[in-house]
Amino acid sequence: MASHLLRCLLVAVGALPYVLSSAPILQPTPPMGYNNWAALMCGLNESVFVETALSMVKFGLLDAGYNRINLDDCWSTMERASNGSMEWDTKKFPRGLPWLTSYLKELGFIPGIYTDAGNLSCGGYPGAFGYEALDAQTFADWGFEFVKLDGCNMPTGTEEEYKSVYGRWHDVLQEIRKETQNPMIFSESAPAYFAESANLTDWYKVMNWVPKFGQLARHSRDSLVFNSTLYWPDITGWDSIMFNYGQQVRLARYQRPGYFNDPDFLNVDHFDYTLDEKKSHFALWSSFSAPLIISAWVPGLNSTEVAYLGNTDIIAVDQDPLALQATLVSQDGTWDVLTKDLANGDRLLTILNRGNSTASHNVSFARIGLPALPAVRVKDLWTGESTHASKEVTAHDIPSHGTAIFRISAPKGSCASTPTGMIFNTYSLTTLTASSKGLIWANSTAADVQVWQARSDGTVRTLAHSSDCLTDLGGGKLGLSRCSRRVAQKWDYTYSGNLISRSSKLCLTEADNEALTLSACLDQANSQVVALPGGVKIVGY
């Protein structure tokens, strides 16, 4: 999701030509760095950023790739200057923001700043509505190269209004880039304001346009702030991670070099996490190639926290040039299994234990998307140890709320994976299931009848019935029938989340009582937006 840019425009499980864009890729891999909000909220000042920067250098976090330092809300005065421009709070920043950006750049960091698309920021400070060009130029003149645009206090709050305002920001930032060579990376918070609606159509619509305007978009709730019990007394730290994780897995189709789905900060020192939960937070976000933005009191991080944040093997997964988001192979309430391809031909396997006790878990090569390989090399990215495996990979003794993460290599060359995993409705979260009574939508159980292969010939089939293909039977009906290369067994997956029959041009649909049908394709309808395994080619970006 980026400025319609990028390497190749995915195409649906078929052989449509790739489409290339002439626009430059401003952010080819997800940003890494620091933001003060979750740790300090409005308690920011000059010394916070100076001490944070020095600690990040001291701890090796800058060398590890955490090279952005972003100011969040509450940095300004409560009113604009007489000429309409924004002013920094001189009590918080006595030497000024131009001094701070210069100082951070001398250390090797890239500075970023916060503003809000509405009339007021979320903290009650001046918003940028109607001042987009002036504020963008002001930020650039002060030396900032990253803008986070929040979405509080919009005049009407409609999806159309958000699109118009965020589009204006895209345009003014683009002008600054042309005139100054300042990349002005654009972080958009618009999707978060639609993510928990009873009807997700507007969330999907916003997610469709944010990649065209910016380089990353925060799609759901904030990570918990340091005093979260005052705001969300019934939400635990693990609940917060799992909520944003659950939103992220719905959105993989949008991500590619130049645009990244943002599940929000790594609030490393929050009081309500176990160490295993903190490490899962980092491993899952890295598996997603999500932004890795630390929001903690960095000078106070302990050696264990610094060590896992600096894990070079896991950071390499996050920063992989393909920028793919890991997608779900299976879920059963205890185990989540995710995979993705890596640029050198390796395959990532991530296994999350959502259960309440330590346990081990096996994943077959077929589920990993490697049915043809007799053996593989498996590197545990936590320990750095490598082993060999045949037929399946075993994660031993994963603690409760812990995550195992493996890099899998073929004996020779590329793993040459087949996209394999769940097909699920991103509204209801029910999973396409080849039951004994026919095809239905059902709760996830991780059975083979819910794990699908999306092959390069456009066919879709389950691991349980690998010789039978998902088939358009006509009249809005679907079934599994012997694969025969018929057009009725060819499917296209679109950027808007539709799985479309090539023969009837109808869309896979969840009807009443979890029934599966084909029906006329609608615009971002809850009943028709589905997630497919990563690596499936996507039409329409």
The pTM is what? 0.95
Helix/strand/coil for 325 = coil
The pLDDT of residue 4 is above 90: no
pLDDT at 8: 31
Burial 310-337 (b: 16+ CB within 10 A, else e): bbeebbbbbbbebbbbbbbbbbeeebbb
Exposure on the CB side of residue 208, measured as CA atoms within 13 A:
20
Phi, psi of 325 (to 5 degrees): -95, 130
Residue 539 Cα distances to 16, 166, 316, 468, 500, angstroms: 8, 25, 28, 24, 10
**Helices 132-142 & 97-107, crossing angle to 10 degrees?**
50
Between the alpha carbon of residue 405 and those of residues 170, 342, 487, the distances in Å are 37, 13, 39
- What pLDDT, on the 0 to 100 scale, is given for residue 300? 98
Cβ(467)–Cβ(482) under 8 Å? yes
Q: What pLDDT, in 10s, does the model give residues 261-299?
A: 999 999 999 999 999 999 999 999 999 999 999 999 999
Strands 530-531 and 146-150: unpaired
Distance from C-alpha of 160 to C-alpha of 437, rounded to nearest angstrom = 43
Residue 1 has pLDDT above 80, yes or no: no
pLDDT at 24: 81
Q: Residue 231: which pLDDT band, with cuts at 50, 70 and 90?
A: confident
Asked if residues 258 and 215 have their Cβ atoms less than 8 Å apart, the reply is yes
Q: Is the pLDDT of residue 394 over 60?
A: yes
Three-state SS at 394: strand
User: Once rounded to an integer, what is the mean pLDDT over residues 152-167?
Assistant: 98
Helix %, strand %, coil % of the chain (to 5): 25, 25, 50
pLDDT digits (tens, 9 = 90+) for 179-195: 999 999 999 999 999 99
Shortest CA distance to 44 belongs to which of 70, 67, 66, 68? Answer: 70
pLDDT for res 488: 98
* Range from 23-27, 51-55, 387-391, 455-459 carrying the lowest mean pLDDT: 23-27
User: Which residues are bridge partners to 164 per DSSP?
Assistant: none
What does the pLDDT read at residue 19? 35
Q: What is the mean pLDDT of the chain?
A: 94
Which 8-state DSSP code applies to residue 345? S
Sign for the pseudo-dihedral over CA of 285, 291, 295, 297: positive
Q: Is there a contact between 419 and 293 (Cβ–Cβ < 8 Å)?
A: no
- What is residue 22's predicted lDDT score, i.e. its pLDDT? 53
For 86-98, write each residue's pLDDT tens digit. Answer: 999 999 999 999 9
Each residue of 16-58: pLDDT tens digit? Answer: 223 334 578 999 999 999 999 999 999 999 999 999 999 999 9
Please tell me the least confidently modeled range out of 14-18, 226-230, 474-478, 480-484: 14-18
Is residue 476 predicted with pLDDT exceeding 70?
yes
Q: Which amino acid is at 237?
A: G
Mean pLDDT of 470-484: 97
Alpha helix (H) ranges present in 261-398? 275-287, 303-309, 312-318, 365-368
What's residue 9's pLDDT? 27
